[in-house]
Amino acid sequence: MKAMKRSTLATLINATLFSAVAGTSISAVAAEQETTAKKNQLEVIQVTARKRVENAQEVPVAVSALQGDSLDAYSSAGMDIRFMNAKIPSLSIESSFGRSFPRFYVRGLGNTDFDLNASQPVSLVVDEIVQENAILKGFPVFDVARVEVLRGPQGTLFGRNTPAGLVKFDTVKPSQEFEGYGAVSYGSRGAVDFEGAVGGSLTDRLSTRVSVLWQDKDDYIDNRAPGFEQKDALGGYTEQAARIQFLYEGDDFTGLFNYHVRDLDGSPIAFRANTIKPGTNDLVDGFENDVVYHDAASRATQQVESQGASLKLEWDLANHTVTSISGWESAEIYSRADIDGGYGGFSINDVPVAMGPGFIPFSSESADGIPDQDQYTQELRLSSNFAGDVNYQVGVFYFDEALTIENFSYDTANNGVLNGFVSQQQDTKAWAVFGSVDYTITDDLKVTAGLRYSDDEKEFSANRTLSPVGGGATYIEKNVSDDHVSWDLSANYKIND
């Protein structure tokens, strides 16, 4: 006999009758029914796309959030930040530097430029600190509570370099409750991935959390260039990262300190020459993804070191919240590779050297480095907490970056001797003032307006002291500045509950 599901009314009637005999409380049964009903409802996803904690369904921004079990599952494979590629609608992430230089695209908009001072139209914000340089964007993802992707221009609240969108990370914060986790996995090619965290209270008001990551993978790409044969020459890496946070919670004041560090030692992405059949999208016959033909693979290397700290102070006043966020980020990198992807392409004593695979027009072995990069940011904002129809937030933002870039060229025919060097220096200072107002016209209709004024200055110089093609020393210097007013106006209307 097919079982019939009782209605809530029927359950309450039966409970009422039964309670006369057994003393069962109607409220207990009603509470059970309410709990069951809540389980059948959609989970409320909270986002901070507008620097407030809000229901994702009520934010007038095209935003997608990744959190909970989905985030854990996607990030469990031990990949770098590119694990999010195609996991969130409209978001793509790729790199020509491997684990150290991710480039973000939202709705197909991005910047393919691989220069170390190239700006990207999709910004990355981690724990409310903008990661401006592309090297900073490669910091490993671990112990993260939520990822948000904001599609479309975000210039009013988040400022510079967000015309295509914004990717926002929020890590797990300390709490008074003692908690922790650990996860370890082992894969093919000697891949090992470990991450874990532990935290809890130090005093009634002070808590801490320590998070760590260790990833390791063996070299697995064989080099079969004639005369340069080497098994397991490329593809491996060792990456370590850690984060420590301290949270102080007073009556009307909270303070959060965050320090993080990263160390990567590995090999760069493996370039390959002539792997596509001309006029097609097909790989050449006999292509193997774990084989290259390089004459400079033995000198390929990539090292990245970065560290940073931030301090978030927040005061809860009667009807307002004052927030101060100070940040410092610093990075160093050196990456050297055989970027022609083959062997040969040069002559020794006017005698051409055998080349392959296919035609190699010239040999190219180069390196890029950042010996020094420091970024300082400061944001101060005031947010209202009115119970009425109008709320607003206003703020100021300051950005200061000093960046040194070094470009190297090497003579592969002469055992990799240095034959080209350029040093670049770029100093950037920017500031902005911004504001946003929310007005509730009716219970179903809310209007938001925002305005931002930004001012940028850049001082750039490049000094070439050695050239692989001759021509002597060259020095250029450029100073540029610009200001801009950006704004947004949006409405959010609830069609039904």
> Quick one: pLDDT at residue 305?
97
Q: Given a cut of 60, is residue 9 above it in pLDDT?
A: no
pLDDT tens sequence across 117-153: 888 899 999 999 999 998 999 999 999 999 989 888 8
* Window from 45-49, 310-314, 354-358, 474-478 with minimum mean pLDDT: 45-49
Is residue 397 domain-resident? yes
Strand 165-171 relative to strand 122-126, pairing: parallel
Percent of the chain clearing pLDDT 90 (strictly above): 66
Q: Is the model's pLDDT at 22 over the cut of 50?
A: no
Minimum mean pLDDT range among 16-20, 154-158, 346-350: 16-20
Band (pLDDT 50/70/90 cuts) for residue 34 is very low
pLDDT digits (tens, 9 = 90+) for 312-323: 999 999 899 999
pLDDT at 302 over 90: yes
- 280 lies in a domain? yes
7, 323, 351, 382, 431 from 395: Cα distances, Å: 53, 9, 66, 6, 11
Does residue 130 fall inside a structural domain?
no
Q: Which of 88-102, 305-319, 368-382, 420-434 has the lowest mean pLDDT?
A: 88-102
Higher pLDDT, 61 or 466: 466
Task: Give the model's pLDDT for residue 45.
Answer: 64
Structurally, the chain folds into a number of domains equal to: 2
Average pLDDT, rounded, for the chain: 87
pLDDT score at 27:
37
pLDDT at 263: 97
What is the reported pLDDT for 105?
Answer: 92
SS (H, E, C) 37-64: HHHCCCCCCEECCCCCCEEHHHCCCEEE
Higher pLDDT, 57 or 88: 88
Residue 49 pLDDT: 64
Identify the pLDDT of residue 55: 66
Residue 171 lies in a domain: no
Is 415 among the domain residues?
yes
Structure tokens at 5: 């599901």
Q: Are 332 and 305 in contact (CB under 8 A)?
A: yes
φ, ψ for residue 17, nearest 5 deg: -65, -40
pLDDT over threshold 60, residue 202: yes
CATH number at residue 235: 2.40.170.20
Transcribe 114-162 into DSSP letters. --TT---SEEEEETTEE--STTGGG----SEEEEEEEES--HHHH-SS-
Residue 27 belongs to domain spanning: 1-41
pLDDT of 3 above 60: no
Alpha-carbon span 234 to 272, nearest angstrom: 12
Which structure tokens are listed for 412? 């592969």
Share of residues in the chain with pLDDT > 70 (%)? 88
Tens-digit pLDDT profile for residues 76-120: 777 788 888 878 888 999 887 888 888 999 998 988 888 888 888
Residue 346 has pLDDT above 80, yes or no: yes
Please give the DSSP secondary-structure letter assigned to residue 276: B
Per-residue model confidence (pLDDT) at position 99: 84
Q: Which of 41, 56, 73 is the last residue of a domain?
A: 41
Across the range 200-210, mean pLDDT stands at 97
Residue 29 has pLDDT above 90, yes or no: no
Residue 69 lies in a domain: no
Spatial separation of the C-alpha atoms in residues 47 and 438, rounded to whole Å: 17
pLDDT digits (tens, 9 = 90+) for 168-184: 999 999 999 999 999 99
Phi, psi dihedral angles at 157 (to 5 degrees): -95, -30
Residue 54 domain-assigned (yes or no): no
